[in-house]
Amino acid sequence: MRLLGAVLAGGRSSRFGSDKALAVMPDGRILLEHAMAAIAPHVEAVVVCGRAMEGVTGLPDRPAPDMGPLGGLNAALHHAAGQGFDGVLTIGCDMPVYPAALAEALTADGAAVLKGQQLAGFWPASLAGELDAHLAEENNRSIYGWLERIGAQIVDRADIVLPNINRPEDLDGLRYQD
């Protein structure tokens, strides 16, 4: 199966207080670079959704900016379909790890997300048109509404725990775990 990796990086970082995708980790790389490196071993190519970044394929949210994670996912699904990929593995820009067990669990049976980490997911490229329709309708554009609409699987694996950085103190806590 041909997989595209998509780092969803178009958020406002309101709880973080600044652009968390650009937060510098102890090794000198930014959080976004860690997310890209984490998903790369599981996919054929990696794109960044919701922002431009030199040297990386960047996709603007679709159909418009500020659509939340679904705008980035929609851009990735259309890119994947147009490039002959079967599906998209997603990760948030604030998730610096993506274990092999997660990629295997998500790609086992149709659209799926990790319980509690809905940005860590697998999406068949064939869902591009359905997501267009969903985003065109009057709804709150919640990822939860999208999951319900497509009947996505919720992968509940206690052995897969991902750090998620929402506030500066979360990043500080991660630094102490290095």
CA nearest to 79, candidates 40, 146, 110, 125: 125
- Residue in this structure with the two tokens 């630094």, named with its chain if needed: 175
Ligand-binding annotation for 115, yes or no, is no
Ligand-binding annotation for 8, yes or no, is yes
Ligand-binding annotation for 94, yes or no, is yes
Ligand-binding annotation for 20, yes or no, is yes
DSSP state of 131: H
Query: What is the torsion angle, in degrees rounded to the nearest 10, for the CA atoms of residue 35, residue 59, residue 123 and residue 159?
Result: 10
Query: In whole angstroms, what is the distance from residue 37 CA to residue 59 CA?
Result: 18
What order do you get walking across the sheet with 3-8 strand by strand?
Answer: 57-59, 45-49, 3-8, 87-92, 117-124, 112-114, 153-155
Which residues sit in the known binding site for Mg(2+)? 94
Q: Which residues are annotated as a binding site for GTP?
A: 8-10, 20, 66, 94
Binding-site positions read 8-10, 20, 66, 94
